[in-house]
Structure 1
């Protein structure tokens, strides 16, 4: 499991004082950054990353507020032939506020086609395969 904390910024709030729903998908992408680093293999050029995002879904479970940190969690839920599913959660003050999934595809940008996940990436993903907990306990 990968875990990080973000601090909601004032400009991310809406007229009701809640964190805007569009912000959560951005936070979830930030929470997947350790996976991007795994696939970049030291190459800092984002265009060389052999992944594309094929699907993203978010369930907004509770309101998220400015002024309190949000803990993001991510884990690998499933590994397919050329893709994998990342399960994600956002927690604020011990309460689940959002959960989601992202489907990432191993992709060859030259041929513009997906390719089977190489075994070394498959093994690295397998090391992070787990079910995210439904209760909050600080890491």
Structure 2
């Protein structure tokens, strides 16, 4: 799917915490994945999907990536834009852009493939209709 076919699903603001910093004085690279995760969970919950081990079917990440363009420093608020597309039988692709509030510069971007899984069997499960309809 080309970038032109991606659909903006969510934009969220997340305050950078002092504890997000590493020894170099900028946000640790692992935290960017947490920011993307927060956006994904907010979006999933807005679509009626509970992210809980008690649910019989739930979304899991099978692949995630991030490209870092510039360091984020405390204090700041990051803006994460989440895009989606390419729904398959059991999965959907998501992409992320990370900005710092008040700036136009792209600080990082990334992607994640989310698969719906039957939590009892560990096997993939069909994508929920509520999610699939977003991309039709």
Q: TM-score, normalized by length of structure 2?
A: 0.81
Number of the residue aligned with 2:117: 107
Number of the residue aligned with 2:41: 33
| CA-CA distance at 1:39 after TM superposition | 4.4
**For 2:89, which of 81, 86, 111 is the aligned residue?**
81
**For 1:61, which of 47, 63, 69 is the aligned residue?**
69
Runs of 4 or more, structure 1, over 4 Å off, are none
Number of the residue aligned with 1:16: 24
- Whether the aligned pair in 1 keeps the contact of 2:52 and 2:58 (CA below 8 Å) is no
Q: Deviations over 1:101-120 (max 9, x none)?
A: 01100111122210222433
Look up the SS of the partner of 2:26 in the other structure: coil
**For 2:12, which of 4, 21, 33 is the aligned residue?**
4
Look up the SS of the partner of 1:64 in the other structure: coil
Query: 5+ residue gaps in structure 2?
Result: 1-7
Aligned pairs, how many? 123
Query: 5+ residue gaps in structure 1?
Result: 128-139
- Whether the aligned pair in 2 keeps the contact of 1:39 and 1:50 (CA below 8 Å) is no
Q: TM-score, normalized by length of structure 1?
A: 0.80
Q: CA RMSD in A?
A: 1.8
